[in-house]
Structure 1
Amino acid sequence: MPNRPRCVSRRPLAPCPDGRFPLTLLLLGVAACSGNDPSGSEAGAGEAHVLPSDAVQLLGTSDALTWVRDLEVASDGTIWVLDEHPPFFVGFQADGEVIAELGHRGEGPMEFGHPVSLLAAGGGDPGTSGIWAFDRLRHSLVRVREADVLFPSEVEGTSVPLPQGVVRPGSLLARTGGIPGMYPWMAAAGNSAFAAHSGGGASRGTGYWTARVVEIPLESGEPIERWRMEELLPSPEAHYPGATEFLPFPLWAVCPDGEAWMYDPARHRVRSLHAPERTDHALPPARNVTFSLDRLLDLLLPSIVAQVPTSERPPDDVLREQLAGEVDQMIDQFAAVFPEYFQMLCAPDGTLWLQHFDWEEGFAGAGWSWERLRVGEGDSGAESIRLPAGFQAFRITSDRAWGIVMDELGIPSVAWIELP
């Protein structure tokens, strides 16, 4: 097997065609606070749990894992991992046994251009249940594995194209960090997938505040518009005068039972999309974030150096000068709209999980601390759960967080940790 770089990343950086870096997008995803305010999020949580590193349980690994993009837990308890390189899909039984390594690059009916997201569809319909992937280049949802097929030898292959006249290629909004790009937010409920797209607007900044959340029935692929963000959020200009590219972004979560939620950055509350004016839940106070030019540059440069090959970036001193020129005018505006949360997930029991932004200690902006909201039990307040450093969580079930850890050689393994 050829040697390939082993790392786990959700968002590689890339220069613009003229050699500059997209600072607007970069800052939204990787800028950091200069320190934790003790009166901020964790201090405001009702109850805090810090999970020790020895609580992490390794499930298994495979030589096929190099650069993990997503992970999903199927209804039968098998775990499926999406890798950046083919074979794209690696399946594990609950005991860690590898049951499949599937998916090759190509243009054939069972091949992929660039799969970027995983979904576990249920609903009991044998025609749609199973593990699905969204292929960005084909602009299609493709079923990777049928339900109840334990040892698949090849990709199942059912493809559901998204109509380009309704959901434009490249318009799907990202699942984490508010950065537009290749790794969109998607969720599954019953026999449908859910996604958010920017409509006719830009896939960044104000585009998140005017997004459309659509339901995509897996039988037909015809999107059904469910919610418009401009009907649920105030005008960005009214709430953040002068802010265009830099805005805190809403997050969405659709639960397996079809209940849908939004993190409202204007009100700093979680709201039901089905009854937004009647059902909302308070969160710990937002952090007070301060920035300095030197601090931002100290954090941005190592990230760029680590993720962008030398041949694709200018010398460090030139890059620092370029970043300083672009960032200096943005500090005050960006500090006013610094995102509080990186992503929001819904567990099968309806519990919501919001992951904090944290560049200083986290991984590419994804912090180790989460807020847990038991929305089905009334507004009982948020609980702070801090996962062990190095445990990159992708999915949360009723009693476990599932993710990836890397050993000292950078080899990723699937792992889980029991939740309090």
Structure 2
Amino acid sequence: MKRLILTIPLALAGASCDQPGTFLDLPIIPIGPLSLTVLAPAEDPLWEVRDVLAHDGTIWALTASAPYVHGFAPSGELTSRFGDSGEGPGEFRFPSAVWPGEAPGSLTVWDSGSFSALTFSGFGALLSSQHAPALGAIRSDIASVTFGDPFRAVRVPGGLVTVRYDSGVNHGTDLWNGRLVRIPDDGGDPQVLIDFATELPGAPMRPAGSLLAPVPLWDGCPDGRIAVLDPVARTLFMVDPDGDRQEAVALSWHPGPLDADARIAYMTARVRSEVTDGSVSEAEIERYATEAARNAVELFAIDEPLGVDLKCAPHRVWIQEFEGTSHPLGYGPLWRTVNFDDEIATFSRVVFPPDFNPYRIAETHAIGVLLDSAGLQRVATVSLPLFSRQVPSPSPPPPPEYATVAQAQGDH
């Protein structure tokens, strides 16, 4: 099947009209704390939220431990809580995503552990289940090692889309070996939409370092298309769910160098996760992590990743910037947007309120969780500002300049 690749013109919001600007020249659009509304009450905090969805008057939160599914009224009142661990009907092994069910008020939960989509009533009664082919073994704590969610799955007309990893996922670089597939509802064979390793142009040029290295990012869009970011070629692909047509947007910004503070923060988090008995002081952890980061420089990427998460909203794709001083994996409050309201794609740069993590972004608001100092989470929404002022396109981005896998192998 031959795919059509179209390049979309692009423009920068807030750049000079007289000469091309860079994306980092864009003014930051702040979203202040007054735009934040906390929905879940303090007496019902959540832990390790994996997905959030607002549907038919209920706000659903999926967490990492049983009971996995939590439903809240718009007022914040807890209305439903269900989902146990196990192998039986309606039980979960590793639930990772939710989307609206077909029946009013119903909810579908994607269980990555059993490769099943389970649909429940709003009160937790199992209505139906759909099983998919095995999609590969994924390390359960991969989210603490790398960005790029290998458990992500989205609903599209007539099926679901996820990534198949035949060789498994143990490290961030394994995400390049994934194949984005559409699994039809009729039980037919999965259809490959994009093979990351062979079809993304940046795959042969990806950096040699494996820690904090750029990986493909993707998400489903409200119009049924799939947004895929090639972080090395600095290109955003918009893929039809049947795989017949792709559009490509060249991104104009460059990743900055990965500094020592980011490497130390990553190593500190990894060491801290290995120390569970409290016998090692925080000063010792930091000292060991600093030494480990200094001795393992060659294991890290040279540059920061182009993005650490991606969300697709109506007419807009959001790409989360890497920020080394935030979460050890760089999940900071700054997001870049690629806007498709007009024929020319335009950009914006937005900062969310501190400690707010969006899971779904609509035209007027984002829904996600607010993290407190104890690491507990509460469902919250943020009102979004209007996006404005579009201007002409900058020059196309030059090829990446950092070391590639092929170059690294040639040095030995």
TM range (shorter): 0.7 to 0.9
1:226 aligns with 2:193: yes
Q: Superposed, which structure 2 residues align to 1:122-133 within 5 Å? A: 125-126=102-103, 130-133=106-109
Moved more, 269-278 or 403-412: 269-278
The answer (yes or no) to whether the contact 1:215–1:224 under 8 Å persists in 2 is yes
Aligned residues: 363
Displacement after TM superposition at 1:387 (Å): 0.4
User: Residue in 1 aligned with 2:410?
Assistant: none
Aligned CA distance change for structure 1 residues 197 and 330 (closer, same or farther; 3 Å): farther
Q: Give the partner amino acid of 1:390.
A: D
User: Residue in 1 aligned with 2:348?
Assistant: 383
Structure 1, unmatched stretches of 5+, are 1-39, 146-151
Aligned identity (percent) is 22
Q: Give the partner amino acid of 2:382.
A: I
- Given candidates 308, 314, 320, the residue that maps to 1:342 is 308
Root-mean-square deviation over aligned CA pairs: 3.7
1:198 aligns with 2:165: yes
Q: Superposed, which structure 2 residues align to 1:282-297 within 5 Å? A: 282-292=250-260, 296-297=263-264
Displacement after TM superposition at 1:172 (Å): 10
- Inter-partner Cα distance in structure 1 for 2:142 and 2:191: 19
Q: Superposed, which structure 2 residues align to 1:1-400 within 5 Å? A: 43-45=24-26, 47-61=27-41, 63=43, 65-115=45-95, 117-121=96-100, 125-126=102-103, 130-145=106-121, 152-164=122-134, 167-170=135-138, 178-179=146-147, 184-200=151-167, 202-218=169-185, 220=187, 223-234=190-201, 236=203, 238-240=204-206, 242-243=208-209, 247-274=213-240, 279-292=247-260, 296-297=263-264, 300-301=267-268, 304-305=271-272, 307=273, 310-311=276-277, 323=289, 326-331=292-297, 334-347=300-313, 349-361=314-326, 365-400=330-365
Aligned CA distance change for structure 1 residues 186 and 325 (closer, same or farther; 3 Å): same
Structure 1 residues 194-229: Cα deviation after superposition (integer angstroms, max 9, x where no partner): 111223365545433332001123453853322212
Structure 1 residues 330-351: Cα deviation after superposition (integer angstroms, max 9, x where no partner): 425634243121111112x232
- Inter-partner Cα distance in structure 2 for 1:261 and 1:180: 13
The answer (yes or no) to whether the contact 1:64–1:87 under 8 Å persists in 2 is no
- Inter-partner Cα distance in structure 1 for 2:52 and 2:67: 16
The answer (yes or no) to whether the contact 1:61–1:413 under 8 Å persists in 2 is yes
Structure 1 residues 40-63: Cα deviation after superposition (integer angstroms, max 9, x where no partner): 986333x53101112211112375
Aligned CA distance change for structure 1 residues 223 and 131 (closer, same or farther; 3 Å): farther
- Inter-partner Cα distance in structure 2 for 1:221 and 1:141: 15
Structure 1 residues 42-90: Cα deviation after superposition (integer angstroms, max 9, x where no partner): 6333x53101112211112375543132233244242110122322111
User: Residue in 2 aligned with 1:32?
Assistant: none
Displacement after TM superposition at 1:262 (Å): 1.3
User: Residue in 2 aligned with 1:19?
Assistant: none
SS at match of 1:353: strand
Aligned CA distance change for structure 1 residues 353 and 66 (closer, same or farther; 3 Å): same
Moved more, 200-209 or 76-85: 200-209
Displacement after TM superposition at 1:119 (Å): 2.4
Q: Give the partner amino acid of 1:96.
A: G
Moved more, 168-177 or 226-235: 168-177
Structure 1 residues 135-185: Cα deviation after superposition (integer angstroms, max 9, x where no partner): 24333222234xxxxxx3324252222222xx223289978984588x612
Aligned CA distance change for structure 1 residues 311 and 191 (closer, same or farther; 3 Å): farther
Displacement after TM superposition at 1:98 (Å): 2.5
Displacement after TM superposition at 1:134 (Å): 2.5
SS at match of 2:300: helix
Aligned CA distance change for structure 1 residues 211 and 250 (closer, same or farther; 3 Å): same
- Inter-partner Cα distance in structure 1 for 2:168 and 2:66: 33
The answer (yes or no) to whether the contact 1:162–1:221 under 8 Å persists in 2 is no
- Inter-partner Cα distance in structure 1 for 2:226 and 2:214: 20
- Inter-partner Cα distance in structure 2 for 1:211 and 1:189: 19
Q: Give the partner amino acid of 1:118.
A: A
- Inter-partner Cα distance in structure 2 for 1:319 and 1:363: 14
- Inter-partner Cα distance in structure 2 for 1:77 and 1:205: 37
SS at match of 1:158: strand
- Inter-partner Cα distance in structure 2 for 1:159 and 1:379: 42
Displacement after TM superposition at 1:244 (Å): 6.0
User: Residue in 2 aligned with 1:16?
Assistant: none
Displacement after TM superposition at 1:282 (Å): 3.9
Q: Give the partner amino acid of 2:56.
A: D
SS at match of 1:381: strand
The answer (yes or no) to whether the contact 2:202–2:230 under 8 Å persists in 1 is no
SS at match of 1:184: coil
- Inter-partner Cα distance in structure 2 for 1:323 and 1:409: 23
- Inter-partner Cα distance in structure 1 for 2:76 and 2:283: 47
- Inter-partner Cα distance in structure 2 for 1:72 and 1:288: 31
